[in-house]
Amino acid sequence: MDVARTQGLPGNLPASLAAELRGEIAVLRLSRPQKRNALDDGTVFGLETFFQELPSNVKAVVLHGEGDHFSAGLDLNELTERDFAEAVDHSRNWHRVFEQIEFGKVPVISVLHGAVVGGGLELACATHVRVAERSTYYGLPEGTRGIFVGGGGSVRIPRVIGVSRMMEMMLTGRTYGAEEGFAIGLSHYLVEPGTGLQKGLELAEKIARNTRLTNFAIMHALPRIAESDRASGYLTESLVASLTQSGDEAKARLKAFLEGKAPKVLRD
Protein backbone atom coordinates (compact mmCIF):
# COMPACT_ATOMS: atom_id res chain seq x y z
CA MET A 1 0.00 0.00 0.00
CA ASP A 2 1.32 3.44 -0.90
CA VAL A 3 2.47 5.27 2.25
CA ALA A 4 0.86 8.52 1.11
CA ARG A 5 -2.50 6.77 0.97
CA THR A 6 -2.27 5.48 4.53
CA GLN A 7 -0.67 8.52 6.18
CA GLY A 8 -2.48 9.41 9.39
CA LEU A 9 -4.40 6.14 9.62
CA PRO A 10 -3.62 3.66 12.42
CA GLY A 11 -0.52 1.74 11.42
CA ASN A 12 -0.60 -1.05 13.99
CA LEU A 13 -3.35 -3.11 12.37
CA PRO A 14 -3.25 -6.91 12.09
CA ALA A 15 -2.57 -8.55 8.73
CA SER A 16 -6.29 -9.36 8.54
CA LEU A 17 -7.11 -5.66 8.02
CA ALA A 18 -5.88 -3.18 5.42
CA ALA A 19 -6.61 0.54 5.39
CA GLU A 20 -6.12 3.38 2.95
CA LEU A 21 -7.08 7.03 2.82
CA ARG A 22 -8.90 8.48 -0.18
CA GLY A 23 -9.18 12.17 0.54
CA GLU A 24 -11.55 12.51 3.48
CA ILE A 25 -12.70 8.89 3.18
CA ALA A 26 -10.98 6.00 4.97
CA VAL A 27 -11.37 2.60 3.33
CA LEU A 28 -10.99 -0.43 5.58
CA ARG A 29 -10.76 -3.91 4.10
CA LEU A 30 -11.26 -7.24 5.83
CA SER A 31 -8.30 -9.23 4.48
CA ARG A 32 -8.68 -12.90 5.40
CA PRO A 33 -10.05 -14.18 2.08
CA GLN A 34 -8.69 -17.68 2.74
CA LYS A 35 -10.98 -17.76 5.81
CA ARG A 36 -13.91 -16.04 4.07
CA ASN A 37 -13.01 -13.03 6.24
CA ALA A 38 -14.07 -14.85 9.39
CA LEU A 39 -13.63 -12.68 12.47
CA ASP A 40 -11.00 -13.81 14.95
CA ASP A 41 -9.98 -11.88 18.07
CA GLY A 42 -7.05 -10.24 16.30
CA THR A 43 -9.34 -8.84 13.62
CA VAL A 44 -11.95 -7.66 16.12
CA PHE A 45 -9.36 -5.87 18.26
CA GLY A 46 -7.87 -4.43 15.06
CA LEU A 47 -11.27 -2.95 14.25
CA GLU A 48 -11.28 -1.34 17.68
CA THR A 49 -7.84 0.19 17.10
CA PHE A 50 -8.83 1.51 13.69
CA PHE A 51 -12.05 3.19 14.79
CA GLN A 52 -10.60 4.55 18.05
CA GLU A 53 -7.62 6.12 16.30
CA LEU A 54 -9.29 7.59 13.23
CA PRO A 55 -7.65 10.96 12.47
CA SER A 56 -9.76 14.10 12.60
CA ASN A 57 -9.55 14.70 8.84
CA VAL A 58 -11.55 11.52 8.11
CA LYS A 59 -15.26 12.22 7.62
CA ALA A 60 -16.57 8.77 6.66
CA VAL A 61 -15.42 5.14 6.46
CA VAL A 62 -16.13 2.49 3.85
CA LEU A 63 -15.80 -1.10 5.11
CA HIS A 64 -15.58 -3.99 2.65
CA GLY A 65 -14.19 -7.51 2.32
CA GLU A 66 -11.44 -8.99 0.17
CA GLY A 67 -12.15 -12.03 -1.96
CA ASP A 68 -15.53 -13.64 -2.52
CA HIS A 69 -17.18 -12.76 0.79
CA PHE A 70 -17.75 -9.87 3.16
CA SER A 71 -17.54 -12.05 6.28
CA ALA A 72 -18.63 -15.57 7.17
CA GLY A 73 -18.84 -14.58 10.84
CA LEU A 74 -17.02 -15.76 13.91
CA ASP A 75 -13.93 -17.84 13.22
CA LEU A 76 -15.07 -21.06 14.89
CA ASN A 77 -11.48 -21.79 15.86
CA GLU A 78 -12.05 -19.01 18.40
CA LEU A 79 -14.65 -21.16 20.18
CA THR A 80 -12.08 -22.62 22.51
CA GLU A 81 -13.29 -24.10 25.78
CA ARG A 82 -14.05 -21.22 28.12
CA ASP A 83 -15.69 -21.05 31.49
CA PHE A 84 -18.82 -18.95 31.87
CA ALA A 85 -17.03 -15.74 32.93
CA GLU A 86 -14.54 -16.00 30.06
CA ALA A 87 -17.35 -16.52 27.54
CA VAL A 88 -19.21 -13.46 28.84
CA ASP A 89 -16.01 -11.42 28.61
CA HIS A 90 -15.46 -12.54 24.99
CA SER A 91 -18.97 -11.47 23.99
CA ARG A 92 -18.61 -8.15 25.80
CA ASN A 93 -15.40 -7.49 23.88
CA TRP A 94 -17.35 -7.70 20.63
CA HIS A 95 -20.04 -5.42 22.07
CA ARG A 96 -17.44 -2.80 22.97
CA VAL A 97 -15.74 -2.94 19.58
CA PHE A 98 -18.92 -2.82 17.50
CA GLU A 99 -20.14 0.15 19.55
CA GLN A 100 -17.01 1.96 18.36
CA ILE A 101 -18.52 1.60 14.89
CA GLU A 102 -22.19 2.28 15.60
CA PHE A 103 -21.56 5.18 17.99
CA GLY A 104 -18.15 6.23 16.74
CA LYS A 105 -16.63 9.35 15.24
CA VAL A 106 -17.95 9.17 11.68
CA PRO A 107 -20.59 7.37 9.60
CA VAL A 108 -19.61 3.95 8.26
CA ILE A 109 -20.79 2.46 4.96
CA SER A 110 -20.42 -1.30 4.58
CA VAL A 111 -20.13 -2.88 1.14
CA LEU A 112 -21.49 -6.43 1.19
CA HIS A 113 -20.98 -9.38 -1.13
CA GLY A 114 -21.00 -13.14 -0.79
CA ALA A 115 -21.47 -14.39 2.76
CA VAL A 116 -22.77 -11.94 5.36
CA VAL A 117 -23.33 -14.58 7.99
CA GLY A 118 -23.46 -14.74 11.78
CA GLY A 119 -20.93 -12.30 13.19
CA GLY A 120 -20.52 -10.85 9.69
CA LEU A 121 -24.18 -9.79 9.77
CA GLU A 122 -23.72 -8.47 13.31
CA LEU A 123 -20.81 -6.35 12.04
CA ALA A 124 -22.75 -5.11 9.01
CA CYS A 125 -25.71 -4.08 11.20
CA ALA A 126 -23.37 -1.97 13.34
CA THR A 127 -22.70 0.20 10.27
CA HIS A 128 -24.95 3.06 9.23
CA VAL A 129 -25.44 2.46 5.50
CA ARG A 130 -25.26 -0.93 3.79
CA VAL A 131 -24.64 -1.50 0.08
CA ALA A 132 -25.15 -5.07 -1.14
CA GLU A 133 -23.99 -6.60 -4.40
CA ARG A 134 -26.28 -9.22 -5.92
CA SER A 135 -24.01 -12.06 -4.78
CA THR A 136 -24.79 -11.25 -1.14
CA TYR A 137 -26.56 -13.73 1.10
CA TYR A 138 -27.45 -13.42 4.77
CA GLY A 139 -27.70 -16.04 7.49
CA LEU A 140 -27.73 -16.60 11.24
CA PRO A 141 -26.68 -20.25 11.64
CA GLU A 142 -26.05 -20.04 15.38
CA GLY A 143 -29.18 -22.03 16.20
CA THR A 144 -28.07 -24.99 14.07
CA ARG A 145 -24.62 -24.91 15.73
CA GLY A 146 -25.89 -24.96 19.29
CA ILE A 147 -24.78 -21.41 20.06
CA PHE A 148 -26.30 -17.92 20.19
CA VAL A 149 -25.36 -14.57 18.69
CA GLY A 150 -22.79 -12.78 20.84
CA GLY A 151 -21.72 -9.67 18.97
CA GLY A 152 -24.75 -7.51 19.66
CA GLY A 153 -26.92 -9.12 16.99
CA SER A 154 -29.89 -9.74 19.27
CA VAL A 155 -29.99 -6.00 19.95
CA ARG A 156 -29.25 -4.57 16.50
CA ILE A 157 -30.70 -7.02 13.99
CA PRO A 158 -34.30 -7.01 15.37
CA ARG A 159 -34.25 -3.22 15.01
CA VAL A 160 -33.58 -3.77 11.30
CA ILE A 161 -35.80 -6.74 10.40
CA GLY A 162 -37.93 -7.41 13.51
CA VAL A 163 -37.73 -10.00 16.28
CA SER A 164 -39.97 -12.55 14.53
CA ARG A 165 -37.92 -12.67 11.33
CA MET A 166 -34.62 -12.94 13.22
CA MET A 167 -36.09 -15.71 15.36
CA GLU A 168 -37.12 -17.65 12.26
CA MET A 169 -33.66 -17.23 10.69
CA MET A 170 -31.96 -18.56 13.81
CA LEU A 171 -34.39 -21.44 14.41
CA THR A 172 -34.37 -22.75 10.84
CA GLY A 173 -30.95 -21.68 9.52
CA ARG A 174 -32.71 -19.96 6.61
CA THR A 175 -30.62 -17.71 4.37
CA TYR A 176 -31.83 -14.68 2.46
CA GLY A 177 -30.47 -13.65 -0.92
CA ALA A 178 -29.51 -10.12 -1.87
CA GLU A 179 -32.92 -9.18 -3.28
CA GLU A 180 -34.78 -10.59 -0.27
CA GLY A 181 -32.34 -8.87 2.09
CA PHE A 182 -32.88 -5.56 0.35
CA ALA A 183 -36.66 -5.98 0.59
CA ILE A 184 -36.59 -6.55 4.36
CA GLY A 185 -34.06 -3.81 5.08
CA LEU A 186 -30.78 -5.69 5.53
CA SER A 187 -29.30 -3.42 2.86
CA HIS A 188 -30.19 0.09 1.75
CA TYR A 189 -28.81 -0.26 -1.78
CA LEU A 190 -28.64 -3.20 -4.17
CA VAL A 191 -26.03 -3.02 -6.94
CA GLU A 192 -24.47 -5.21 -9.58
CA PRO A 193 -21.45 -7.43 -8.82
CA GLY A 194 -18.18 -5.55 -8.71
CA THR A 195 -19.79 -2.12 -8.33
CA GLY A 196 -20.37 -2.06 -4.57
CA LEU A 197 -17.15 -0.37 -3.55
CA GLN A 198 -17.63 2.45 -6.05
CA LYS A 199 -21.19 2.97 -4.81
CA GLY A 200 -19.97 2.94 -1.21
CA LEU A 201 -17.35 5.55 -2.00
CA GLU A 202 -19.91 7.75 -3.76
CA LEU A 203 -22.19 7.59 -0.73
CA ALA A 204 -19.28 8.27 1.63
CA GLU A 205 -18.32 11.37 -0.33
CA LYS A 206 -21.92 12.61 -0.19
CA ILE A 207 -22.08 11.97 3.57
CA ALA A 208 -18.72 13.69 4.10
CA ARG A 209 -20.19 16.90 2.65
CA ASN A 210 -22.63 17.13 5.56
CA THR A 211 -21.56 19.13 8.59
CA ARG A 212 -19.80 17.07 11.26
CA LEU A 213 -22.34 18.17 13.85
CA THR A 214 -25.29 17.01 11.75
CA ASN A 215 -23.66 13.64 11.07
CA PHE A 216 -22.91 13.26 14.77
CA ALA A 217 -26.53 14.06 15.67
CA ILE A 218 -27.87 11.55 13.14
CA MET A 219 -25.54 8.80 14.39
CA HIS A 220 -25.79 9.40 18.12
CA ALA A 221 -29.03 11.24 18.85
CA LEU A 222 -31.45 9.78 16.29
CA PRO A 223 -31.31 6.11 17.42
CA ARG A 224 -31.57 7.13 21.07
CA ILE A 225 -34.52 9.42 20.39
CA ALA A 226 -36.24 6.60 18.49
CA GLU A 227 -35.91 4.30 21.51
CA SER A 228 -37.03 6.84 24.11
CA ASP A 229 -40.55 7.66 25.28
CA ARG A 230 -42.39 10.28 23.22
CA ALA A 231 -42.03 13.18 25.65
CA SER A 232 -38.32 12.61 26.11
CA GLY A 233 -37.91 12.16 22.36
CA TYR A 234 -39.60 15.45 21.54
CA LEU A 235 -37.51 17.32 24.10
CA THR A 236 -34.24 15.76 22.91
CA GLU A 237 -35.15 16.47 19.30
CA SER A 238 -35.73 20.15 20.11
CA LEU A 239 -32.37 20.40 21.85
CA VAL A 240 -30.47 18.62 19.06
CA ALA A 241 -32.22 20.60 16.31
CA SER A 242 -31.38 23.86 18.06
CA LEU A 243 -27.79 22.80 18.57
CA THR A 244 -27.19 21.81 14.95
CA GLN A 245 -28.76 24.92 13.43
CA SER A 246 -26.82 27.24 15.73
CA GLY A 247 -23.48 26.40 14.10
CA ASP A 248 -21.85 28.87 11.70
CA GLU A 249 -21.66 26.32 8.89
CA ALA A 250 -25.35 25.47 9.21
CA LYS A 251 -26.27 29.17 9.15
CA ALA A 252 -24.18 29.68 6.02
CA ARG A 253 -25.81 26.72 4.27
CA LEU A 254 -29.32 27.88 5.14
CA LYS A 255 -28.51 31.39 3.92
CA ALA A 256 -27.19 30.01 0.64
CA PHE A 257 -30.36 27.97 0.17
CA LEU A 258 -32.63 30.96 0.85
CA GLU A 259 -30.61 33.02 -1.65
CA GLY A 260 -31.01 30.33 -4.31
CA LYS A 261 -27.32 29.41 -4.23
CA ALA A 262 -27.75 25.85 -2.97
CA PRO A 263 -29.16 22.88 -4.91
CA LYS A 264 -32.74 21.86 -4.25
CA VAL A 265 -33.73 18.31 -3.32
CA LEU A 266 -34.13 16.25 -6.48
CA ARG A 267 -34.59 12.56 -7.05
CA ASP A 268 -31.31 10.75 -7.89
Beta-strand pair 108-112/60-65: parallel
CA distance 262 to 32: 44
Task: Please give the span between the terminal C-alpha atoms of the chain, in angstroms, as a whole number.
Answer: 34
Q: Is 249 a catalytic residue?
A: no
CA distance 221 to 232: 12
Q: Is 20 a catalytic residue?
A: no
Q: Which of 122, 168, 192, 237 is catalytic?
A: 122
Q: Which of 86, 142, 168, 259 is catalytic?
A: 142
Neighbours of 56 (CB within 10 A): 9
Phi-psi label, residue 62: left if phi above 0, alpha if psi -120 to 50, beta otherwise: beta
Task: Please give the sequence-ordered ranges of beta strands (E in DSSP) within the chain, or none if there are none.
Answer: 17-22, 25-30, 60-65, 108-112, 115-117, 129-133, 137-139, 175-177, 189-191
CB-count exposure of residue 47 (10 Å: 0-12, 13-18, 19+): buried
**Residues carrying an active site annotation:** 122, 142
